Structures are given as structure tokens and as C-alpha cells.
Structure 1
Amino acid sequence: MIRMMTISGIILLMLGITGIGWLLLTPSGSNFRYLMADTLITTQHRHWAKYIIGQHELDVRVQQYQQRFNAMGEERDTHEIHTQSQPQPVDTAVPVSTQPEEKPLVEIEEISGTGYSGYVMTVNDPTKIRIGVPAKQGRGERVRSMVERTGAIAGVNGGGFADPNWQGNGFQPIGIVMSGGKLFYDDLGKSKSTQVVGLDRDGKMVAGRYSLSELEQMGVQEAVTFQPRIIVNGKGLIKNAADGWGIAPRTAMGQREDGAILFVVIDGRQPGHSIGANLYDVQQIMLERGAVIAANLDGGSSTVLVNDGHVINKPSTKSSEGRYLPTAFLVFEHPEQATISNVWNGLGPKDIDPGKW
């Protein structure tokens, strides 16, 4: 009995030494360590990554990603859209049964891949999208609540926000917020530009680094700050999965040449359901569906998709409703009738405590 235990102990020790050697001394082991570190960087446990790659490498990794994301927003987008939103004349010479069917405003498709599952929501008329914001000062609002309150038919989480210790109240956005062509919030400080994701007055998607004056000249109506842009002028900017910033719940927005907007929503951090995806996965999902421009939105525990009054996905939060957030992309049958007021009117960044509920 003692002999068997000794042999078992030796075998376990050898396996442990072999495993450590693989992690530290082989290219595949090193890639796995950085994948684990990148995944932790996207969570509230970012500091744990130092035990995998070291504090210096962690600091370098975060800085490299920031520099890379900034560079990915620099190329000027030149894509054009040819929207199908206007009613098409009926050709009386063609039988009614063969006339092209009018697409629904919103279509939802389930998707899955290695380790992840989620949805693609297609909005066939990009001019039907508005940025929604909370109703009351002091805290954010869940997307389903925004959808119900404003009369929207669907909604997806939007831009980033100040989130102390990942317990923030969701009320202080990062960067800018524009809705209905008006600047609701501006936290640029001395910065002259920011990475934005949004739409202009014609429904053309805008993503990349722009100044406020450029956004005004471009006629941008709806916008939030987030990064990185992952597709521009029809080409993907992320070369491979190793550059995909770890595995996490994801939300992203893209646009096809016909003007349709694609929202990719992927669940994560839920073994047995969906672990999550990297940004390369998201990029490829977009490219496969014809996106010519696409950008990352706030993911992680913020990722949520609402349609017909229900949360469709499974957010990685204690509540099935998801988090309190400052912004959401909302879809309306009649967006011109939506009442969306500036909840930050009269408030500056210094007037908001993002950790106080």
C-alpha cells in the first residue's frame, strides 16, 4: 500500500514538473500562459495575471494592447452604404408571388463556435437606431428597462463607463455620448479625439478615432466611446487568435454594404454554456456575414441582448437582467417619436461619483 502511494506520488510529481516545464519552456505553453493572462486582463481579477506572466510582462502587455488598439482606429474609413430602407416600387409586370419580400426590421440568429455561443442581431434599417441613456441621475439603467421605457423593440449594451472595482453604478460614461445629433456627455479633457462607435444621419456606421469637430462635420448622430475597431474598409485588423485579447463575453457592432447593422453578442464565463470568444472570433463572424466595418463594444459582464421585452442571451452576472449601464443601442420602429433626454445635463465628470449608489 505504501509502495503504491509512493509510486503514485512520484508519477504526480513528474507530471507536475512536466506541466510546469511545458508552460515555461515551450512555445505552445507560453502561448497558453499569455492566453490565460489576456483573459484575466478583461476581468475584475486583472492583478492575478501577474502570477502567470509576471508584473512587468502584465504592464507591458496592457500597454501594447492599448497602443495597438489606438493604431487600429487611425485609418480613415471610406465605406459607402446602399440602404434598402426606402420602400421599393412594385413591378406590376411581375407576379406578386415573385416580388422580393420586405425584410423585418430585426432578425436574430443563434451562433456557436469553439467554446462559445451567442447571437447575431441584424437591424436591416440603420436609421432606426438611437443611443439610449438612463432615465435618472445617479446610476445607470439596465438595457431591458431602457427598451421598455422608451418603446424600443430591441437593445444592445453600448459604450464603456467608469467602473471602480467592477462594482460601479454605471452612470459615468467614458469619452463621449451622442444621441439624436446632440452631445450628451464629454469627458475628453485635454484629449483632442477619442475612439467612437456610432452612426451618421444617413445610417452609415462610424468607427475609429475622431475629434468632436470631425464628428460634427460628418453629421454623426449617435455615438459612444469604445475600442478597438476590428474591421475597416472591408479588411480585418486582427491577424490571429493570439492577438484577440483573451476569451470573454463579447459585444460588437458592424455594418454591411447594404446598410444593415450587425450586432454580435457572445456569452462567456459560464462553463457548460459558453466560455467566451476572443476578438479574432468576433471579427471572423462579422466578415463571414459581409461586414465592411466593425468595432468592439463594452463586453464582459455588460454584454446583453434584449428583444421583444426579453433578455435573449445569458449575461455573466448574478442577475439575469445584466448590469446597470450608461448607454445602449436601441432599435425603434419610429425613432423620431422616441423621447431620450440628456440625463447628464449640467453635470461634468467631477460631479459624478461612479461608485456611489
Structure 2
Amino acid sequence: MQAMQPESASLPSRSSVRKGKGTNKRKRKKSRRKGGFLRFVGRMITVMMLLGVIAFIWLFLTPSGNNMRFLMADTLITTQHRHWAKYIIGQAELDKRVAAYQQQFDEMGTEKDTHTINLPDPVEETEEQAEKPLIEIEEVSGTGYRGYVLTVNDPTKIRLGVPAKRGKGEKVSSMVARTGAVAGVNGGGFADPNWKGNGFKPIGVVISQGKLYYNGISNNASTQIVGLDKQGRMIAGKYTLDELDKLGIQEAVTFQPRIIVNGKGQIRSQKDGWGIAPRTAMGQREDGAILFVIIDGRQPGYSIGASLYDVQQIMLDHGAVIAANLDGGSSTVLATKDGEIVNKPSSEYGERYLPTAFLVFDDPDAVDIPNIWEGLRPQDIDAGKK
């Protein structure tokens, strides 16, 4: 006969009961945490959808939203990703806006400039004028932007620099260091296929030391010029090569638009400011001093960028009677002696290789700037070849 086991032997121990209860409790806690997380995610998705609907209604159905939408589109138009603007305003509106800006820029370049400059006579130069430095650099800032104003007190000390070698542009900092310049600022635009251009094929014309270095326009055509004549007077606007020759052009590039003429701003408001971007512009005061405005951008937390209206107002505040836009965006750069970069260029690849730069020299007549485009036709230059 089999012996009976004590009843207690078939019952779980107290420790195992506690262990089972603890496991169940942990499972319930884990389940509650999982459920709470899913509810949180669900609420977040709901809130985001509601915010998206509200943002859509604001952007497309309110005046302030439409203004913001066009500002976003204008900002994209000034970048390498112009085509993205069609997702904000549509392709038809994008084409219409680009054409409207081009027409506006052309009109801004036609009013006759009558400004005169009053350079001091070197023989009668006062002690105060003699002590004035050749260049002065001032920091400027405003809503969403930071940058610099470079003042060149003697405009006759400026020359247009070009790359040292054929086939590729050169960094402005390199041009400054190589030529012994006091300072340098990026100049005109260039062909940039697929935004991978080598910086060697300029847009329009390049004039240095009174000589035509590069001609990318047809005979008798006009182009938007930014530059200086032999007396140091700034010239900006739409001219033919014959007209520029009669004006005694000395240094010049093609770019647009002219934003101040005869002391009057040409851009009426922020709405017409052509988006937010890094900017470079050139202007002149009545005393002859040249002003370069360099605005950084596309760097949240530091500087988003400025509109052309912002740049125009900076120029007017500094006494400019004429001013014009230069190449901006990732080309914007200010370099000083020995090639030190003062601002913060926005290009993710570092300072860009460019075809032209306005350089400042203590003795510009001693500087040799060879014509690297001599004998080359524009159609023979591969703008994308490295």
C-alpha cells in the first residue's frame, strides 16, 4: 500500500505564490505602460494632424499666410533648388513670379544715374582724411540676419580679381592671399550646371583694369553692370559695351538688380525683397567711399539671411546714393589680408570657387592681373569640368 503524502506537499510555497503575483503585477504594469505610450502617440498624431490642417488653412486661405507662402517660394527661387518652389505656389505661379522679377529688375536698371562723387584732392588732403584707414569693417544685424559692411574709403584702390589658372575658378580668400590684397569680396555670377560648376565661366561680361576680359553677350546687347569707372565712380545699371566704353568703365561684372539709384531705394517693401538668403551688394556714398554689404544666411541659430529690401535699407542707412546686388547665396564671402575669412559662408562644401572678386589694394597699379580667358570663346568653356 502506497504511503500517503502530506497534504502540504502538493501546495505551492509562499515564495512561489509571491513570485507569481509579482510576475503578474509586472505584466500589468508593462501593459499599462505600453497602452499609455500608444495613447500618447495617438494624441500626438491627432495634434499634429490638427496643426497641419490649421497651417494649411492659414497658408492658403489667409492674406498673411499667402504672404508667407510667397516669401518661402522666393527664398527657394534664390537657391539651388528653385524647382521646389512649385510645391508651394505651383509651377504656373513660379514661372509667372520669376518672369515678373526679371521684368522688375530690368526696369530698375534703366533710370539714368546722375550721382557725382567728391573725392578729396590728394594735394589738399586734410589731416583727418589722411588718417582715415583704407578699409573699415563693421558688424550689422537685423531680424533674422547677421553680417558685415566693408567700407573702402578710396574707390580708386579697387580692382577686379580673376582666377590664377585656366579651367577653374578660385576662392576669394586665395585671390586675396595670392595678390597681396587688403580685402576681397565675391563679384559676379557664373554658369553653374547642376550646381556643380567649376566657377570658370562668368555670366555676362568681365572688365578688369579697363580691358574686356570676358564677353558672354551678343553684339549691341545690353547687360546689367556693377562696377567702377576710372575716377572711382560706381556704375550700375543696364548698358551696352559701347556705352560702358564711353563711360570710362574700369572694373565691372554682370549682375542685378540695381537697388538704389540717385539716392532712392528701388525696392518698395519686404514683399518685393526676393526672399531670404545670404547676400552680397555694392554701393557708394557721395564722398566716393565704396560700401560692400555681406550678409550670412542659411544657418539657423546664427543667421537665416536677408531680403534685398533689408540690404537696400542697410545701404541707405550708411549713406549710399547708388547700390546694386552682387552674386550671393553660397558665394557670399568677405576675406581680409592673408586670406582670412571674416564671415561664415553658407556652402556645405566650404568656400566656393568663383570667377571674379572685387579686391582692395594699397598699391593697385603694382598688381598684375592676367586675362585667363584670352583667346577662349564662351561656347568652348565647359562650366562643369573639374
- TM-score, normalising length: structure 2: 0.87
Aligned residues: 349
Q: What RMSD over aligned residues (CA atoms) do the two structures have, in Å?
A: 1.6
Within a 5 Å distance, the mapping from 1:1-357 to structure 2 comes to 1=36, 9-84=45-120, 86=122, 88-89=124-125, 102-189=131-218, 192-309=221-338, 310-320=340-350, 322-357=351-386
| CA distance in 2 between partners of 1:333 and 1:134 (Å) | 20
SS at match of 1:49: helix
SS at match of 1:80: coil
Higher alpha-carbon Rg: 2
Contact 1:85/1:125 (CA < 8 Å) preserved in 2?
no
- Partner letter of residue 308 of structure 1? K
Contact 2:228/2:235 (CA < 8 Å) preserved in 1?
yes
Tell me by how many angstroms 1:4 deviates.
Answer: 6.5
Contact 2:220/2:241 (CA < 8 Å) preserved in 1?
no
Tell me by how many angstroms 1:192 deviates.
Answer: 1.3
| CA distance in 2 between partners of 1:34 and 1:260 (Å) | 36
Provide, for residues 1-36 of structure 1, a one-character-per-residue CA deviation record: whole Å limited to 9, x for no partner.
Answer: 577665554443332211110000000000000000
Provide, for residues 60-113 of structure 1, a one-character-per-residue CA deviation record: whole Å limited to 9, x for no partner.
Answer: 1111111110110000100000013625356xxxxx8xx666210000001111
Provide, for residues 32-70 of structure 1, a one-character-per-residue CA deviation record: whole Å limited to 9, x for no partner.
Answer: 000000001111111111100001111111111111101
| CA distance in 2 between partners of 1:313 and 1:262 (Å) | 16
Contact 1:153/1:332 (CA < 8 Å) preserved in 2?
yes
SS at match of 1:251: strand
| CA distance in 1 between partners of 2:321 and 2:218 (Å) | 32
- Partner letter of residue 171 of structure 1? F
Contact 2:180/2:337 (CA < 8 Å) preserved in 1?
no
Provide, for residues 129-158 of structure 1, a one-character-per-residue CA deviation record: whole Å limited to 9, x for no partner.
Answer: 000001110000111111111121110000
Choose between structure 1 and 2: higher helix proportion: 2
Tell me by how many angstroms 1:189 deviates.
Answer: 2.0
Structure 2 segments unaligned to the other structure (5+ residues): 1-35
Tell me by how many angstroms 1:318 deviates.
Answer: 3.0
- Partner letter of residue 262 of structure 1? L
- TM-score, normalising length: structure 1: 0.94
